[in-house]
Amino acid sequence: MKDYIALKEVKTDLNSGAITCVQLVEQYIQKIQENNHLNAFLEVFNDSALEKAKEVDQKLSVGTAGKLAGAVIGLKDNICYKGHKVSASSKILEGFESVFSSTVTERLLQEDAIIIGRLNCDEFAMGSSNENSAYGKVLNAANNEYVPGGSSGGSAVAVQAGLCLASFGSETGGSVRQPASFCGLVGVKPTYGRISRHGLIAFASSFDQISPFTRTVEDAALLMEVVSGADDFDSTASQKEVGAYAASLDDRTPKKIGYIKQCLENDGLDPEIKDHMIKLIEDLKAKGHTVEPVEFPYIEYMVPTYYVLTTAEASANLSRFDGIHYGHRSELASDVESTYVLSRSEGFGAEVQRRIMLGTFVLSAGFYDAYYTKAQKIRRVLKNKTKEIFKEHDFILTPTCPSTAFKHGAVSDPIQMYLQDIFTVQANLTGVPAVSIPRGTHSNGLPFGVQIMADEFQEGPMLAFAASISQN
């Protein structure tokens, strides 16, 4: 099938009659089957996708189709779609069918997007490599020996391999931007509260945000425009007006950009990525932008702070999966206590259990102030420092990740895996928007990206700047 890079290409072919939505979906289904070895899709929604495609074709014929007509989209396996299974890639929710749709799903369908399936991820979105799924690891389409990043690895690979036009993942500490960098895609993390979390299976409620993967900034802007905004079902969703992101991408006025000095000086940063960052900075200066180093002396505190807070929230959020209310219940259970213990031990994987135990520990009576309270104070310091930078600068520029993708099994130490998030967690801790954009291919043949952060609710200017320097 034709490899569609952007929605405008799909629309051109739909309008000319070169293809129909039904044919498009059928071709994607065939391509998914041909690339089954990547393990990106846990389930393809053949019937509902084809039914929606017929509906969209009818709307196109009479000129009433929505903004996303022709957009075939996959959903991470923690985003609810009524009447379809959702499991967060965990055995504890195996076979569970959602009784309602997330707000994001509803808004996509209202604009005539076609949801084609649910995508593999690290269990309960906990991981940086997509090796923690109960249903097997996802393979990077650029080189199958390498990870796609996580936790939204299936969502990234589905777009990377052309198995759908775009997809949605979720962001807690870099779970869209890191896979976007590893797979050569655009991955947007919105301001906290910009997109409703209603219908997203929670990991850490003060961090989680549903986020898109695309191959162009233009498509990312359009998807952000469609799914953003206030929601009566989510009290944390912002009431702020949503900008016309897609129509504002041609802003080329000079900007003031700060790059975090400590990121470029980090010992773990790949030399080629560092050289690319230095060249990009010089290129931006040559184009009239002001680019200067900024101090952010808290890099070493960000990952520990992030994991104290997110594991605490995960411990609380995942307490609902108890073998009593719904989900997996152990057949060996004989009383209430054994039902809890056995069901959770059988249903949760090792990484999820590790984070629940860590979170329970930092919330316990003897350690609450020493860990959780202190982490909240550090989070405030990080937020204040980030706001201080944005008083003087339009954007913050950093590498998205310290390296390109690593081989499956290459990172076995949990601490080393957690450090994969070192450049991405700042945006989640402080609630600001960020985007990873593809910037080329490393000498090892794998893609890598750079990250742009902006002040709260400045997605429009951020995406316009991203469009001006993206290499996709």
Taking the C-alpha atoms of residue 407 and residue 371, their distance in angstroms, rounded to an integer, is: 33
C-alpha to C-alpha distances, 329 to 194, 321, 336, 352, 431, nearest whole angstrom = 36, 10, 11, 17, 37
Taking the C-alpha atoms of residue 2 and residue 24, their distance in angstroms, rounded to an integer, is: 9
Q: What is the pLDDT of residue 50?
A: 98
C-alpha to C-alpha distances, 375 to 126, 173, 301, 313, nearest whole angstrom = 19, 15, 9, 12
**Is residue 439 a contact partner of residue 449, using CB atoms and an 8 Å limit?**
yes
Residue 217, φ and ψ in degrees, nearest 5? -65, -35
Q: Which two tokens stand for residue 45?
A: 């929604």
Q: Say which residues have a Cβ less than 8 Å from residue 316's Cβ, sequence separation at least 6.
A: 359, 363
Residue with tokens 């929670």: 202
Model confidence, pTM? 0.96
pLDDT below 50 — which residues of the chain?
none
The CATH number given to 7-248 is 3.90.1300.10
Short-list 351, 345, 350, 359, CA closest to 314: 359
Q: What is the pLDDT of residue 472?
A: 63
Q: Which two tokens stand for residue 441?
A: 């291919």
Residue 432 CB coordination number (10 Å): 25
DSSP letter assigned to residue 323: S
DSSP letter assigned to residue 174: S
Short-list 421, 384, 369, 418, CA closest to 400: 421
**Is residue 77 a contact partner of residue 150, using CB atoms and an 8 Å limit?**
no
Q: What is the pLDDT of residue 325?
A: 86
Q: Which residues does the annotation mark as catalytic?
A: 76, 151, 175
